[in-house]
């Protein structure tokens, strides 16, 4: 991730940030939730009873929100390389998503069921070398797309974080081959200074 937690500038910006304060006053673990909420309010991603896969889930605010939206009949499978405090009704897999075994663990967790939605907020640790960071981020996005096309039910959706740069156009083109509609979203909680935005691919077609 771009920021360096602990640095003075990062700390001051966090304290000023409206979304950080909002998250601190709510039960959500991260300001990242407001990006998902804004997209969901516009695009209605979640349904009761849905199965959702949340990639790059720690510290867990997207999983918290997803669980609230799918309700007790739904199921959320979350993956992160970092540990994550448990979230009710969320099955957490800790591991590196670029490893085949972790991909396979996701499939096992679904136990033959299809997912209705795959959300990916995966963001690699930044090296500071832009081309390397972009390549790592796109590699994760590609893996997320590969899992999605394997597990989504027809009509299912995918939301995926990307950073503007090399590879994004190819990913979009690729998604257009599998989904009826592909749009981009830059929620208000996503900092203007960040190259981050989201691709929303709707209605998976086999």
Ligand X SMILES: C[S@@+](CC[C@H](N)C(=O)[O-])C[C@H]1O[C@@H](n2cnc3c(N)ncnc32)[C@H](O)[C@@H]1O
Give the Cβ contact number of residue 61 at 10 Å: 25
Rounded CA-CA distance 204/182 in Å is 10
- Least gap, CB of 96 to ligand X (angstroms): 4
Contact pick of 34, 45, 52, 56 for ligand X (by CB under 6 A):
56
Contact string (CB under 6 A) for ligand X, positions 131-150, x = contact:
---------x----------
Contacts with 168 (C-beta within 8 Å, 6 or more apart), sequence order: 138, 162, 199
Q: Which stretch binds ligand X (CB under 6 A): 25-33, 85-93, 108-116, 169-177?
A: 25-33
The DSSP secondary-structure symbol of 98 reads T
Rounded CA-CA distance 113/107 in Å is 9
Contact pick of 19, 34, 62, 163 for ligand X (by CB under 6 A):
62
Question: Beta strands 179-185 and 75-80: pairing type?
Answer: unpaired
Which residues are annotated as catalytic? 161
- Least gap, CB of 22 to ligand X (angstroms): 14
Residues of this chain that interact with ligand X (CB under 6 A) are: 1, 29-30, 32-33, 56-62, 79-82, 96-98, 121-124, 140
């Amino acid at each position: 991730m771009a920021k360096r937690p602990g640095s003075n500038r990062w700390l001051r910006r966090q304290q000023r940030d409206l979304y950080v304060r909002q998250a601190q006053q709510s039960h959500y673990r991260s300001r990242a939730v407001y990006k998902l909420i804004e997209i969901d309010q516009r695009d209605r991603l979640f349904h009761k009873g849905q199965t959702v896969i949340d990639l790059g889930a720690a510290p867990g605010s997207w999983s918290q929100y997803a669980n609230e939206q799918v309700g007790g009949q739904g199921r959320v499978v979350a993956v992160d390389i970092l540990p994550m405090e448990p979230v009710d009704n969320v099955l957490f897999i800790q591991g590196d998503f670029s490893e085949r075994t972790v991909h396979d663990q996701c499939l096992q967790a679904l136990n033959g069921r299809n997912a209705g939605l795959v959300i990916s907020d995966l963001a690699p640790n930044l090296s500071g070398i832009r081309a390397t960071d972009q390549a790592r981020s796109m590699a994760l996005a590609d893996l997320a797309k590969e899992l999605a096309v394997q597990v989504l039910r027809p009509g299912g959706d995918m939301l995926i974080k990307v950073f503007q740069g090399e590879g994004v156009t190819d990913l979009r083109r690729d998604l257009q081959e599998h989904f009826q509609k592909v749009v981009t979203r830059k929620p208000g909680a996503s900092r203007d200074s960040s190259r981050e935005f989201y691709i929303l691919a709707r209605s998976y077609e086999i």
